[in-house]
Amino acid sequence: MSEISCTAHTCAYNSDSYCTLNAVHVCGQKAKKSCDTSCESFYMRTSAGTNASIPQMHMPSSNSIECSAEKCLYNDSGHCKAVNVDINGVGADCSARTECGTFVKK
Ligand code: SF4
Dump pLDDT digits (tens) for 24-64. 999 999 999 999 999 999 999 986 555 555 554 556 667 79
Residue type for position 57: M
pTM of the model: 0.88
Kindly state whether residue 105 falls inside one of the protein's structural domains.
no
- Cα–ligand 1 centroid distance for 52 (angstroms): 30
Residue-level pLDDT at 57: 57
Of 72, 95, 73, 74, the closest CA to residue 21 belongs to 95
Within 6 A (CB) of ligand 1 lie: 26, 28, 37, 65, 67, 69, 72, 74-75, 80, 82, 85, 100, 102-103
- Cα–ligand 1 centroid distance for 67 (angstroms): 6
Kindly state whether residue 88 falls inside one of the protein's structural domains.
yes
Alpha carbon 3 to its chain centroid, in Å, reads: 10
Structural domain count of the chain: 1
Kindly state whether residue 25 falls inside one of the protein's structural domains.
yes
Range of the domain at 87: 3-100
Residue nearest to atom 8 of ligand 1 (CA): 67
Give the confidence band of 85 by pLDDT, cuts at 50, 70, 90. very high
Query: What is the percentage of the chain residues whose pLDDT exceeds 90?
Result: 78
Kindly state whether residue 106 falls inside one of the protein's structural domains.
no
